[in-house]
Each structure stands twice: as C-alpha cells, then as structure tokens.
Amino acid sequence: MREPERPGEELAWYIDKFHWNQAMFSEVIGRPVQFVSDVVNGKTRITRTSAAQFAAALGTTAQHWLDLQNEYELWVLSRDKEMQKMLRGIKRRAKAYTVHMPVT
C-alpha cells in the first residue's frame, strides 16, 4: 500500500487553488495562522470542527477532510511495528476465546 496524500498537502493545494496564502485562509475560517500552518505541515490533525470549517470555506464536505485524515492515520498505524505486534496479539487472543458454534 502506498502512502496516501497527507491532509495538509491537500489543504495547501486548495489554498493555492483559491490564490490565497495561509494568513488569508486563516482569516476566512477564523483560526490562527499557526493552526493552518500546523495542519499544512502535518503537525496538527484535522478534527470534526476544522473539517467543517475547511468544507465551508472550500466548497467541499467535512467528510472529505475526515476521510483524508483517517486514511492517513490508518496508513501510519499500518507501518508501526509495535502497533502491528499488539494487533497480532489481539488476534491470537480473540481466536483462542472464540466459541465455535455448531452449524445448523
């Protein structure tokens, strides 16, 4: 699986598409410039509130921004060796506790 686009990369694309800069966009959505910069640079995740703000400003949907964020975070988790080790343990334990029901 290839790395999905980071949400901040898409936000930067939209800001450019509208011929805005980060300061202008921050004024549009009523958030600090640092917040916009942090999202663009991947230091801050997109929340339901920020997704709704982005959608209102850019003519997209909040779901679009949340999907981007979720897809990226799930990809990051899939690359995390400790997380994968933990998930394998959960699968083993779940399998051990599974009650096999007779087929009727």
- The identity of residue 101, as a single letter, is M
Residue 60, domain member (yes or no): yes
* 17 vs 72: CA distance, rounded Å: 22
Residue 2, domain member (yes or no): no
For the entire predicted model, the pTM comes to 0.83
Query: Tell me, what CATH number does 53's domain have?
Result: 1.10.260.40
Residue 28, domain member (yes or no): yes
Domain containing residue 49: 7-97
The answer, yes or no, to whether residue 99 has pLDDT greater than 90, is: no
Q: What is the pLDDT of residues 53-70, one digit of tens each?
A: 999 999 999 999 999 999
Element containing residue 4 per DSSP (H, E):
none
Q: Please tell me the total count of domains within the chain.
A: 1
Residue 61, domain member (yes or no): yes
Q: What is the pLDDT of residues 31-60, one digit of tens each?
A: 999 999 999 999 999 999 999 999 999 999
* 98 vs 68: CA distance, rounded Å: 34
Question: Helix 22-29 to helix 7-17 angle, to the nearest 10 degrees?
Answer: 100
